[in-house]
């Protein structure tokens, strides 16, 4: 066997090994890329979900108050108050979330403040079950102030 044919046989495996090695490296890189996290934030965010639900309760409470203003439905006031209270409780529950950070904290505080102010508005629109208390407070001016209360 001369040296020329001997070197030709040696070069053949190295020529085939290079594309095979590149293909193996490409597959390895693809497999490692599939294992890497796509996002730094988790797919499920406890704080964001609770704030979303609290906002939905707040929107429901506002709709109930608007219903009371449009149609004078007294039951809508109670429903608005309770929906607003549920929104406050959900916003406060974000403290227990694992992803509780400054952004979630600030959003929860803003939502709680809005709901507490909203609850004061709802309570100020509620009638007292005993009109005698209001009559004692306003005396002779009761009929002038509460015209819709006289039956």
Q: What is the DSSP track for 118-150?
A: HHHHHHHHSPPS-HHHHHHHHGGGHHHH-GGG-
Domain-embedded: residue 136: yes
Cβ-count burial 116-142 (b if 16+ within 10 Å, e if not) = eebbeebeeeeeeeeeeeebeeeeeeb
* C-alpha neighbours within 13 Å on the C-beta side of residue 28: 6
Domain-embedded: residue 80: yes
Domain-embedded: residue 111: yes
Domain-embedded: residue 26: no
**What pLDDT is stored for residue 45 in this prediction?**
84
pLDDT in tens, the chain (151 residues): 566 655 555 555 556 566 666 676 676 666 666 555 555 555 678 899 999 999 999 999 999 988 888 888 888 888 999 999 999 999 999 999 888 889 999 999 999 999 999 998 888 888 765 656 555 655 566 556 566 655 4
How many residues are present in the chain?
A: 151
pTM of the model: 0.58
**What pLDDT is stored for residue 126 in this prediction?**
80
Domain-embedded: residue 4: no
**What pLDDT is stored for residue 124 in this prediction?**
85
**What pLDDT is stored for residue 17 in this prediction?**
66
Domain-embedded: residue 30: no
Domain-embedded: residue 125: yes
Q: Which domain holds residue 98?
A: 46-149
DSSP 97: S
- Which residues, other chains included, contact 54 with Cβ-Cβ below 8 Å and sequence gap of 6+? 86, 87, 88, 90, 91, 108, 111
**What pLDDT is stored for residue 86 in this prediction?**
95
- Contact status, residue 100 vs residue 47, Cβ threshold 8 Å: yes
- Contact status, residue 51 vs residue 111, Cβ threshold 8 Å: yes
DSSP 36: S
How many independent structural domains does the chain possess? 1
Domain-embedded: residue 20: no
Q: Which sign does the torsion angle of CA 89, 77, 60, 115 carry?
A: negative
């Amino acid at each position: 066997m001369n040296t020329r044919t001997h070197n030709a046989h040696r070069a053949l495996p190295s020529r085939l090994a290079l594309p095979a090695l590149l293909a193996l490296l490409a597959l390895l890189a693809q497999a490692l890329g599939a294992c890497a996290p796509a996002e730094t934030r988790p797919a499920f965010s406890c704080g964001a979900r609770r704030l979303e639900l609290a906002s939905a309760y707040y929107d429901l409470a506002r709709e109930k108050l608007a219903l009371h203003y449009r149609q004078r439905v007294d039951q809508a006031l109670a429903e608005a108050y309770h929906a607003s209270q549920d929104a406050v409780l959900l916003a406060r529950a974000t403290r227990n979330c694992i992803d509780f950070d400054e952004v979630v904290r600030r959003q929860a505080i803003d939502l709680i403040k809005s709901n507490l102010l909203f609850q004061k508005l709802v309570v100020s629109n509620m009638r007292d079950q005993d009109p005698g208390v209001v009559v004692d407070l306003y005396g002779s001016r009761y009929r002038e102030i509460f015209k819709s209360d006289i039956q």
